[in-house]
């Protein structure tokens, strides 16, 4: 059991995460402060949510980038609608309206993919462009800082607070609860439900999944529905954490989320991936970013470092498969 865990990609990512943390902590002790831990988790919250939403699509063999645009259009249009109606309540109505919009947007992607047998990436690229364009043309082209009275202060709602010697009072934001609940749900769905087994089967071999009796069109719709809803949750959460609503939120960040999922052990061709690995991938990217700041290295180096790690992580499985085939051929020849 232990030997199998040690050989997993998730364990390798965990070791890299620990090693990097130790090195940075030795260079700058501020890295080990409670404020760094809380700030890192806070920065990772929306990436956790988006990554968990996209993970089933990746496992099933698709590549989607429209989730960031869905996050933008659902959060921004919900905000502008409620402002126009004079809403002064709390965050719950924001989440309900945005998630409904996200569900419909995700189902639209799924419908186009299943009904017309279109590649997932092509549909997502079109949706990515369409939803950002819709926001800018029909809803508004500038960020809005007017928050309803009931939502003011959300950014400072903490589960626990602590005094830090470097920054003073800090805290663990309540949104981390969303991450835990969503992560547990996606983990349960992938591991214990027929839909989850179908998602892995589709990623392994779509034709075999169909012949095995899995309802591939329905499962595809479910994966896109989950993506749409969680994208909306991420968009609204990010807006309240940053205290303004942006029509082009996340526009340059879909690759960051996809990179985290792949770093966590998911295969870009489908059939492999896990919630734990995805969470570790998100944390690794956030720790790299924080480490560069604390060690005085320009943040622009983040993409270079992540790119190098991605090359290594995507090359290792290919080399392992190549080695396995070579051994197989040698055995057959003998």
State the pLDDT at residue 316. Answer: 66
**170 backbone dihedrals φ, ψ, rounded to 5°:** -145, 175
Q: Which of 91, 92, 113, 79 is nearest to 227 (CA)?
A: 113
pLDDT below 50 — which residues of the chain? none
168 dihedral zone (left: phi>0; alpha: psi -120 to 50; beta): left
**249 backbone dihedrals φ, ψ, rounded to 5°:** -60, 140
State the pLDDT at residue 170. Answer: 79
pTM of the model: 0.93
> Burial code of 242-263, b = ≥16 C-beta within 10 A, e = fewer?
eeebbbebbeebbebbbbbbbb
State the pLDDT at residue 99. Answer: 98
Taken in order of first residue, the domains within the chain and their CATH numbers are 2-142+150-306 (1.10.3470)
DSSP-assigned letters across all residues of 170-196: EEEETTHHHHHHHHHHHHHHHHHSHHH
State the pLDDT at residue 276. Answer: 95
Q: Considering the chain, what is the average pLDDT of its residues? A: 90
State the pLDDT at residue 61. Answer: 95
Question: Over the stretch 236-269, which tens digit does the pLDDT of each residue have?
Answer: 999 999 999 999 999 988 988 999 999 898 988 8
Question: Over the stretch 108-165, which tens digit does the pLDDT of each residue have?
Answer: 999 999 999 999 999 999 999 999 999 999 999 999 999 999 999 999 899 988 777 6
Q: How far apart are CA 108 and CA 169, in angstroms?
A: 45
State the pLDDT at residue 331. Answer: 56
């Amino acid at each position: 059991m232990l030997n199998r865990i040690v050989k997993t990609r998730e364990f390798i990512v965990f070791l890299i995460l620990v090693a990097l943390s130790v090195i940075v902590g030795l260079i700058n002790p501020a890295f080990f402060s409670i404020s760094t831990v809380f700030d890192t988790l806070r920065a990772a919250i929306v990436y956790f949510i988006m990554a968990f939403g996209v993970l089933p699509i990746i496992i099933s063999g698709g590549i989607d980038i429209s989730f960031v645009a869905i996050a933008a259009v659902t959060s921004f249009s919900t905000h502008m609608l409620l402002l126009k109606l004079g809403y002064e309540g709390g965050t719950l109505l924001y989440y309900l309206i945005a998630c409904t919009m996200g569900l419909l947007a995700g189902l639209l992607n799924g419908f186009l993919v299943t009904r017309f047998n279109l590649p997932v990436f092509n549909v997502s690229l079109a949706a990515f462009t369409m939803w950002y364009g819709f926001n800018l043309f029909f809803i508004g082209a500038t960020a809005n800082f007017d928050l309803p009275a009931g939502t003011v202060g959300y950014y400072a709602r903490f589960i626990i607070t602590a005094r830090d010697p470097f920054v003073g009072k800090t805290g663990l934001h309540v949104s981390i609860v969303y991450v835990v609940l969503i992560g547990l749900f996606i983990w349960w769905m992938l591991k214990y439900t027929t839909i989850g087994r179908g998602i892995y089967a589709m990623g392994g071999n779509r034709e075999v999944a169909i012949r095995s009796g899995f309802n591939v069109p329905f499962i595809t719709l479910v994966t896109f529905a989950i993506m749409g809803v969680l994208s909306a949750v991420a968009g609204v959460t990010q807006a309240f954490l940053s205290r303004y609503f942006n029509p082009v939120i996340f526009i340059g960040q879909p690759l960051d989320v996809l990179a985290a999922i792949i770093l966590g052990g998911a295969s870009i061709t489908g059939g492999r991936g896990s919630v734990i690995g995805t969470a570790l991938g998100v944390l690794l990217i956030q720790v790299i970013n924080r480490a560069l700041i604390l060690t005085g290295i320009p943040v622009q180096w983040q993409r270079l470092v992540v790119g190098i790690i991605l090359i290594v992580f995507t090359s290792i499985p290919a080399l392992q498969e190549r080695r396995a085939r070579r051994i197989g051929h040698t055995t057959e020849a003998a």
